[in-house]
């Protein structure tokens, strides 16, 4: 993966189906505090995780195209579902390097030991087979266990506490098979799941290492920028400019919890504009 060093002052483009990818933006900001980030959250069309892969692919192309119009030096597909459905298409249409969230998390997960690897994600991500295929290509023959956890996205968006009995109940149900397997590592393969990492960690116990796919992707971005000498040289903290396809006030308010910072620059962009931009 290459980033043109003459582009080092350009922002990093990040997109997601909605607010969740702000967890990835937060990881990027922590590792690379001088980088400007331009973020698109497709809140009008969230969730992607229950839609067909064709629909997600179309949305992801439109999201990427919008951000590419801002001339980023690199594009991060923060959404696991979009990464699963569209990464090859996105790489084909982008003139810049594209970092997804599935390969980096998978690469970290297999280094935790020789035992089984687990991944939890949205229904569409699991259905796509992307985690299975990526893990199989990185560690042929390794035991892989997957679980779709569709209720976790609305639970996190609703702001339920990690020790809320509803959270415990839902996790126990989704992770029942995973608990029998006790994988060496468990990939949190969805933007929202890091907000439940304490609850998931408590349930899985100390022998399972949790891997946040977003944090792994941020480490990948840092490695790529470092290797290409393309880090932003500015001393000032980087800006986070957000665009949402739905209500910007709501995005700014709810987004703080995901992005771990105040969101002071949130703009509206209509899905009709994204669609037009693509045609």
Q: Give SS3 for 266.
A: strand
Nearer Cβ to ligand DGL (46/99): 46
Quick one: which segment of 14-22, 60-68, 159-167, 172-180 binds ligand DGL (CB under 6 A)?
14-22
Nearer Cβ to ligand DGL (60/96): 60
Quick one: which segment of 67-75, 189-197, 260-268, 271-279 binds ligand DGL (CB under 6 A)?
189-197
Catalytic one among 79, 149, 228, 242? 79
Please provide the size of the chain in residues: 279
Q: Does 79 bind ligand DGL (CB under 6 A)?
A: yes
Give the interface size with ligand DGL as a residue count (CB under 6 A): 17
Helices and strands per DSSP (H, E), number in the chain: 13, 10
* Closest CB to ligand DGL: residue number: 49
Minimum Å gap between C-beta 13 and ligand DGL is 16
Question: For this structure, is 242 an active site residue?
Answer: no
Minimum Å gap between C-beta 56 and ligand DGL is 8
Nearer Cβ to ligand DGL (191/212): 191
Minimum Å gap between C-beta 148 and ligand DGL is 11
Reply yes or no: is the peptide bond before residue 245 cis, omega within 30 of 0: no
Nearer Cβ to ligand DGL (153/242): 153
Catalytic one among 112, 149, 172, 190? 190
DSSP states of 176-189 as a string?
HHHHHH--SEEEEE
C-alpha 272, offset from chain centre: 24
Tell me the C-alpha distance between 125 and 35, whole Å.
Answer: 29
Q: Does 274 bind ligand DGL (CB under 6 A)?
A: no
Minimum Å gap between C-beta 202 and ligand DGL is 22
Report CA dihedral (247, 248, 254, 260) to the nearest 10 degrees: 160
Q: C-alpha angle 116/196/84, rounded to 5°?
A: 60
Please report, for residues 55, 178, 270, the alpha-carbon distance to residue 274 in angstroms, rounded to integers and kept in the order given.
Answer: 14, 39, 7
Question: For this structure, is 190 an active site residue?
Answer: yes
Window 28-67: residues binding ligand DGL (CB under 6 A): 46-49
Quick one: which segment of 75-83, 111-119, 138-146, 257-265 binds ligand DGL (CB under 6 A)?
75-83
**Nearest C-alpha neighbor of 244 from the set 226, 229, 258:** 258
Q: Give SS3 for 129.
A: coil
Nearer Cβ to ligand DGL (96/190): 190
H helices present in the chain, as ranges: 22-31, 53-68, 80-93, 102-109, 123-128, 130-138, 152-157, 165-174, 176-181, 197-204, 213-227, 248-259, 271-278
Binding region for ligand DGL (CB under 6 A): 16-18, 20, 46-49, 79-81, 122, 125, 153, 190-192
For the annotated catalytic residues, the residue numbers are 79, 190
């Amino acid at each position: 993966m290459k980033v043109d060093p003459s582009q080092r002052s350009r922002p990093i483009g990040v997109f997601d189906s909605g607010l969740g990818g702000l967890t990835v933006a937060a990881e990027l900001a922590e590792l690379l505090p001088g980088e400007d980030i331009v973020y698109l959250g497709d809140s009008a069309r969230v969730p992607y995780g229950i839609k067909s892969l064709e629909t997600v692919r179309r949305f992801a192309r439109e999201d990427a195209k919008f951000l590419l119009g801002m001339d980023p030096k690199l594009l991060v597909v923060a959404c696991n579902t979009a990464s699963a459905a569209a990464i090859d298409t996105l790489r084909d249409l982008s003139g810049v390097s594209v970092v997804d969230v599935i390969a980096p998390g998978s690469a970290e997960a297999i280094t935790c030991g020789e035992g089984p690897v687990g991944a939890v994600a949205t229904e569409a991500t699991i259905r796509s087979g992307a985690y299975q295929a990526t893990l199989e290509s990185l560690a042929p023959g390794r035991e892989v266990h997957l679980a779709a956890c569709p209720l976790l996205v609305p639970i996190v968006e609703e702001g339920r506490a990690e020790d809320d009995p509803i959270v415990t109940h839902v996790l126990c149900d989704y992770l029942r098979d995973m608990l029998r397997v006790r994988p060496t590592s468990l990939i949190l393969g969805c933007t929202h799941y890091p907000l439940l990492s304490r609850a998931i960690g408590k349930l899985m116990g100390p022998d399972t290492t949790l891997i946040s796919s977003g944090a792994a992707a941020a480490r990948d971005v840092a490695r790529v920028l470092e290797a290409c000498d393309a880090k932003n040289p500015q001393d000032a903290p980087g800006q986070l400019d957000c665009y949402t396809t739905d209500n910007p006030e709501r995005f700014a308010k709810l987004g703080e919890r995901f992005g771990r910072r105040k969101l002071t620059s949130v703009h509206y962009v209509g899905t009709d504009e994204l669609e037009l931009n693509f045609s």
